[in-house]
Amino acid sequence: MYSSEAKGGKAIVLKSRDEILIMQEANQIVAETLVLVSKSVNPGISTWDLDRIAEDYCKRKKALPAFKGYRGFPGSLCVSINEEVVHGIPSRKRKLRKGDILSIDFGVCYKGYYGDSAISLAVDKIGVLEHKLLQVTEESLNKAIEKVIVGNRISDISGAVQIVVEKNGFSVVRQFVGHGIGTALHEGPEIPNFLQSDPSPRLLPGMVLAIEPMVNMGTYRVKVLRDGWTVVTADGKPSAHFEHSVAVTEQGPLVLSSRLNMQ
Ligand code: MG
Ligand code: MG
């Protein structure tokens, strides 16, 4: 979740092996939190309740919720339902309903380093097309991660997402992009989910990238609601979002926020 800033951009900071290990700890707290919150995703629970679960767990792990207070964001989680793309604000009034799709984005700061990851999931039973949207979005992230190879370019990641998404008849959001991550939540480079004509940076060992396809069922166009945060699709059709923080290593991609082996 990062609004693309024109020209200049933020610096790309390479991390040492030790720093990557700390970032893995941070991202594992994020991953554990997402798994924990997922278990409570059911019709009737409010997005505020989910936010409490995340914040409590994060505090137990001695990590700071990274989004709370970020440019004034009021929650620990970003919770975005159906046509909401990203940056939905947790609310006591907003209760999940059967058939919703819910995107949960979470970040922490731990030992001075950030972790950032997102998942989208079904609330009870959802429609066939909604199910496909979730599957395709996750697949586009997985294909993008396969491109995290030293010597590739950021555009290889962008292109991998775009191909999977458009082949399946969906669209990628342009206005928000992935990002480098480290001692700041948002570092360079920007990681668009679509190909651009400008040459993009080459991947170097020690880069850590938060790759986060935001995929819409209809138009790629989005708008921001009057709360100043919630991003929704322009046509009101559903959207999904998956994100992993991934280190570039000589041995290939290291998914720091992996949920494999978690129950
Ligand atoms: Mg992010
Ligand atoms: Mg995120």
The C-alpha angle 123, 126, 132, rounded to 5 degrees, equals: 115
Distance 34 CA to ligand 1 centre (A): 14
Q: Distance between alpha carbon 196 and the CA centroid of its chain, in Å? A: 20
Structural contact between residues 75 and 49, judged by C-beta atoms closer than 8 angstroms: no
Distance 116 CA to ligand 1 centre (A): 5
Distance CA 257, CA 116 (A): 8
Domain 2-255 has CATH 3.90.230.10: yes
Distance 147 CA to ligand 2 centre (A): 20
Distance 73 CA to ligand 1 centre (A): 14
pLDDT computed for residue 8 by the predictor: 59
Helix (H, G, I), strand (E, B) or coil at 81: strand
The helix (run of H) or strand (run of E) holding residue 109 is: strand 101-110
Query: CB-based burial of residue 38 (10 Å sphere; 0-12 exposed, 13-18 middle, 19+ buried)?
Result: middle
Distance 243 CA to ligand 1 centre (A): 7
> What pLDDT digit, counting tens, does each position of 127-148 carry?
999 999 999 999 999 999 999 9
The closest ligand to the CA of 211 turns out to be 1
pLDDT computed for residue 25 by the predictor: 98
Distance 31 CA to ligand 2 centre (A): 11
pLDDT computed for residue 2 by the predictor: 52
Distance CA 81, CA 3 (A): 19
Whole-prediction pTM: 0.96
> What pLDDT digit, counting tens, does each position of 170-199 carry?
999 999 999 999 999 999 999 999 999 989
Distance CA 126, CA 131 (A): 7
DSSP letter (8 states) at residue 72: G
Low-confidence ranges of the chain (pLDDT < 50): 1, 4-7
Helix (H, G, I), strand (E, B) or coil at 25: helix
Distance 77 CA to ligand 2 centre (A): 9
pLDDT computed for residue 146 by the predictor: 98
